[in-house]
Structure 1
């Protein structure tokens, strides 16, 4: 069951019971499309999440911890100015649509009472969060600005008049109606009935429509069945269930015919969404935060690959440098036959059994200058080989480094992204924003992630290069075991044991393979050795190490329990 109008109805009911009459204590915007309002109600602090993320839009109370950016956004500052200290008067759903209105009572700069309406639109890529002055009907600010070039119907910008999304010609299912009885007379096929129910009723998602259709076609008392269906969203029994295709989904109540072995029950809808979105939303937030980082990585990788292609061409040219020397020597030998103004001349090549050789000439140069030009080209190509090889090696090292960071982003948490950003700033790939204060805020490197093998041995994994360096050269004991995938980008992994069992090494190797670019392969080589054999060359980039005396295991990637 998606976050449709019926699920929104259930969520609004839950939020009203929990947050109504509460006071706003704090407002934060930890991620670009998400707002968190901390509300003090019934002697508890609740974090209300309003997400306009196009992939996972929703409104709920969340207990998942978050970290605020160092500098708050303009939208966050505006929300703090208007909402901090305000009282939650009510939380309402607009008809049975996926639009939630939070009504706040507060005071303006003059101390006069004023009402502010905060609209959360849960509509995929059109999702938004807008603060509106109730008296004037003007938008104070929106989390995503939408100009006339993006939407000709609604202008979602500060100062614009708030306009509701266009209404669909559908019936609010909570108002008195008998539409379902007419529809079931027309068809008894559940699939067809579900489509017609969706076309008739407001806010009815595909999963909800299928559930209602199934209940109606097997019912002996249609009005009772219909109202019981609606009542399930007033008194929900939240579950996450497993579909026949193995994918999980959430619902406000257990679907018909679903065995309890495929259900996970939750006390509240918000707890359900926290469990369902925990990993999915986290990955999406990471990608959202990594947007600029990924653009820089892709640009630099493209530049380096183009550079290597050019350097390879130069090496190919240098490999044929002797052809220029031969032409220069033959011209010098037969200089008396060369006349100024010639564009080419054919002479005997005494290096190839006097076979005729046609040599191009510059008509504006003297014969001796034409010969010297070939010798100069030969010398330039021969002397460039060392430099070109060095530049190629540096470009290849940079590609490995950037590809490693690209791999780390795939499994990074939002905190890891901040550290990757810091690393790229230190390496000069990203510009550092100038701060007004002379004191630069120091970002502390977070701790590596912890896992345990089947026998309880602690294994640490660096999730980015700053963590990798800290783990390998600051945290790890010199006699503990260090692991890394062979010849491909991956995390540094350390077994906190000086004499681990073969089983522990195998499980740690599987973990190292999982946290690498080879995580989707079946047979990944992993090197392991004591930490004391690691060496970091002077001036090497973060995460780069050299080592000797390693052993190699071939494993299938697998993530251990934390």
Structure 2
């Protein structure tokens, strides 16, 4: 859905209420989302190539924060600065925020933030008061513009009718230059779909030569749109192909607030797609590691198979030792009777060695092969355990449903070395993405977001707390904090419901969930995160799709 200059005009109208306010903090989420927090509201800017937009959020909610060099510069220059002005040239999808800030020495500094919401070229540029670029989100060099630190900022070129500053004579001249062909008309602030919708509402064809009367009707229609964009109401069009938002009234449209429309129709889809993209990127790293482990396991399994008959070396050594009394000469091979089968077998020897030395050589082969098999088997056992752990992790990624879940799992991959660890970032994530917490009938429940948290909540639980886990399938550990009280059947059922809905089986209907006191759960020595053994348990069968619990999270 296109976010056009008309919608941006309405969004900047809401931001205008904060003119004269100081900017308290700037946050960044992912690569392309920035949150500018003022007292009483947060202005969000997305320069996502597919979903560029800007709007005033209700409240100060935001996604988990990340860091970038550009964010650090923005904070250093703009934190505490006063929003002094807002400028959107001719309803273009480009706007300017002007800030004033006093230095510790009382000097006044001017900064300008230019935001361009134009698809793949979307960008944020910070300049000083003289338009010298200090920093920018994306470096960009084209035939017409250079956006690099140190260069001078210029607005992108724009073409079309400016409905904020136009009169009938200018409008008529514009149409004459385009031979009054409707498809040649461009209006600043309108995307093509919005303009076609306006044509349709005025009964003007999309690719026709319009009459003078139709030109007058279009002129009045644009004036009406100019008047309508002064409020923050927008109109939701539920078209068959793709729903979209109109800045002006259209027949059959649903009226709503701009912030609600963007949050529900654009922001929700952006979050979903970005969540999926991040999830897929992380899963590729994990799948790569799983494939590497599988190849190594296959290779070691083949190696064990090739050494499976190492016992034959001991037997040959024993046969040679038993026949040393009659073996005096060095030979390339000999025939000896096998006392087990009674048949004569041929044994190839090293002709450079005596029969006694050959016997010792075969015993050495046996001992060496035996040690190697034991070492490979031990390594194979550890690798298979690690392989199962990685498979469980992959399943946890599959059932992750929020950015917080994803960040917690990402943290686990960093801890075990699959992803590169970023210390500063990880500290913030641990603080903001702790275990999920629910309250039901006065009891508190904790749900681990990853295996490290699963170990943590179990380790920190009291002996009489209850532990829940879906039976034989990957899933979160759930702790019911008893607090010295005895939970009833409904409280236990809710704990089992949480374990079922936070497991691989959440979409499969009925899920078996085991539960027991924490004192009956222990971690084997050397086990991977999240892996435990337990005893004295009971089992409930939970329908994960029929939970009717009124719990607070």
Q: Counterpart of 1:546?
A: 533
Q: Secondary structure at the match of 1:401?
A: helix
Q: Secondary structure at the match of 2:61?
A: coil
TM-score, with structure 1 as normaliser: 0.71
Q: Deviation of residue 289 (structure 1)?
A: 7.9
* Distance (Å, rounded) in 2 between the aligned partners of 1:405 and 1:478: 28
**Superposition map of 1:421-460 within 5 A:** 423=412, 427=416, 448-451=435-438, 460=446
* Distance (Å, rounded) in 2 between the aligned partners of 1:424 and 1:352: 56
Q: Counterpart of 1:401?
A: 389
**Superposition map of 1:402-551 within 5 A:** 402-409=390-397, 411=400, 413-415=402-404, 419-420=408-409, 423=412, 427=416, 448-451=435-438, 460-475=446-461, 478=464, 480=466, 482-494=467-479, 501=489, 511-519=498-506, 521-523=507-509, 525-532=511-518, 533-548=520-535, 549-551=537-539
Q: Deviation of residue 536 (structure 1)?
A: 2.6
Q: Counterpart of 1:315?
A: 304
Q: Secondary structure at the match of 1:217?
A: coil
* Distance (Å, rounded) in 2 between the aligned partners of 1:337 and 1:232: 111
Q: Deviation of residue 272 (structure 1)?
A: 3.8
* Distance (Å, rounded) in 1 between the aligned partners of 2:164 and 2:514: 64
| 8 Å contact kept, 2:514–2:540 | yes
Q: Deviation of residue 491 (structure 1)?
A: 1.2
Q: Counterpart of 1:23?
A: 22
Residue deviations 1:482-523 (CA, integer Å, cap 9, x gap): 432333322123466855557x7777656434433455x535
Q: Decide whether aligned partners of structure 1 residues 485 and 242 sit closer, same or farther in structure 2, where only a CA change above 3 A counts.
A: farther
Q: Deviation of residue 138 (structure 1)?
A: 2.1
| 8 Å contact kept, 1:23–1:86 | yes
**Superposition map of 1:140-539 within 5 A:** 140-144=134-138, 146=139, 154-165=145-156, 167=157, 170-172=160-162, 176=166, 177=171, 196=183, 200-205=186-191, 207-209=193-195, 211-217=197-203, 221-238=217-234, 244=240, 250-252=245-247, 256-258=251-253, 265-266=256-257, 269-276=258-265, 297-298=286-287, 300-321=289-310, 376-409=364-397, 411=400, 413-415=402-404, 419-420=408-409, 423=412, 427=416, 448-451=435-438, 460-475=446-461, 478=464, 480=466, 482-494=467-479, 501=489, 511-519=498-506, 521-523=507-509, 525-532=511-518, 533-539=520-526
Residue deviations 1:527-555 (CA, integer Å, cap 9, x gap): 22223432233454432222233426374
| 8 Å contact kept, 1:119–1:130 | yes
Q: Deviation of residue 115 (structure 1)?
A: 3.7
**CA root-mean-square deviation:** 5.1
TM-score, with structure 2 as normaliser: 0.72
Unaligned runs of 5+ in 2: 206-213
Residue deviations 1:67-109 (CA, integer Å, cap 9, x gap): 8869x64433322332234332322224443222112244578
Q: Decide whether aligned partners of structure 1 residues 117 and 444 sit closer, same or farther in structure 2, where only a CA change above 3 A counts.
A: closer
Q: Decide whether aligned partners of structure 1 residues 379 and 207 sit closer, same or farther in structure 2, where only a CA change above 3 A counts.
A: farther
Q: Deviation of residue 236 (structure 1)?
A: 3.9
* Distance (Å, rounded) in 1 between the aligned partners of 2:126 and 2:119: 19
Q: Decide whether aligned partners of structure 1 residues 91 and 240 sit closer, same or farther in structure 2, where only a CA change above 3 A counts.
A: same
| 8 Å contact kept, 1:34–1:51 | yes
Q: 2:7 aligned with 1:12, yes or no? A: no
* Distance (Å, rounded) in 2 between the aligned partners of 1:472 and 1:380: 44
| 8 Å contact kept, 1:491–1:516 | yes
Q: Secondary structure at the match of 1:491?
A: coil
| 8 Å contact kept, 2:434–2:449 | no
Q: Decide whether aligned partners of structure 1 residues 337 and 470 sit closer, same or farther in structure 2, where only a CA change above 3 A counts.
A: same
**Superposition map of 1:42-121 within 5 A:** 44-62=39-57, 63-66=59-62, 73-106=68-101, 113=108, 115-121=110-116
* Distance (Å, rounded) in 1 between the aligned partners of 2:230 and 2:7: 10
* Distance (Å, rounded) in 1 between the aligned partners of 2:410 and 2:393: 10
Q: Decide whether aligned partners of structure 1 residues 528 and 161 sit closer, same or farther in structure 2, where only a CA change above 3 A counts.
A: same
Q: Number of residues paired by the alignment?
A: 522
Q: Counterpart of 2:208?
A: none
* Distance (Å, rounded) in 2 between the aligned partners of 1:433 and 1:403: 24
Q: Which has the larger radius of gyration?
A: 2
| 8 Å contact kept, 1:2–1:251 | no
* Distance (Å, rounded) in 1 between the aligned partners of 2:200 and 2:346: 87
| 8 Å contact kept, 1:242–1:248 | yes
Q: Decide whether aligned partners of structure 1 residues 558 and 470 sit closer, same or farther in structure 2, where only a CA change above 3 A counts.
A: farther
Q: Deviation of residue 118 (structure 1)?
A: 0.6
Q: 2:130 aligned with 1:131, yes or no? A: no
